[in-house]
Amino acid sequence: MFHRMLATRPASLPLILRVAAGTLFFLFSFGKFVRHEAEVRAFDRYGVPWPEVTVTVVGVLELVGGLLLIVGLLTRPAALALAGNMIGAISTGGRVEGGPIHLGLAPALLIVMLILLRTGGGAHSLDYRLAPAPPAFRNGASGPSAPPV
C-alpha cells in the first residue's frame, strides 16, 4: 500500500512540470503589464536593449507560453522559447541583481524547460491527443515491431 501511495506513472511527470511551470510563467507575465513602468526601469537597469519593447515581448511570451504549457499544446516550442527567456533572466537580472527569483527560480524553470524539451507534453497533453498515430499503428498493427503494410 505504501508503494502505491508513492508510485507515479512516468506520464505524470510532464503534466506536473507543465502545469506548475506554466502557471508560474502565466502569473509572472501579469507584472509585465500591470507594473509596466517598473519592469521597464528594471530591464533598463539590467542592460536589456529596448526595455520598453522587450518588457512587452517578454510579457506576451510568458503569458502565451505559460498557457500553452498548461494545456500541453506546442509544448516543445513553448519550452524552447521560455528556456531562452530564462537564460535572459539569469544573464541580465541575475547578473545585476541576483536574488531568489533570478538566481533561484529562473534556473529551476530553465531546468524544467529542458526536461519538457526532452519529454514533450506527455500523455496528458493536447500535443499527445492531436499527434497522428505512428504508421505502424494506423493499420491495426499491434506495435512498432509489426511488419509494414
Contact yes or no for 66/116 (Cβ under 8 A): no
High-pLDDT (> 90) share of the chain, %: 70
Question: Given a cut of 90, is residue 138 above it in pLDDT?
Answer: no
Question: Given a cut of 70, is residue 139 above it in pLDDT?
Answer: no
Considering the entire predicted model, what is its pTM?
A: 0.81
Q: What is the mean pLDDT of residues 69-97?
A: 95
Question: Given a cut of 80, is residue 6 above it in pLDDT?
Answer: no
Q: Distance from first CA to last CA of the chain, Å, rounded?
A: 45
How far is C-alpha 64 from the chain's CA centre? 10
Q: What is the pLDDT of residue 140?
A: 53
Q: Kindly compute the dihedral angle of the four CA atoms of residues 106, 108, 109, 111, in this order, to the nearest 10 degrees.
A: 120
Q: How confident is the model at residue 4 (pLDDT cuts 50, 70, 90)?
A: low
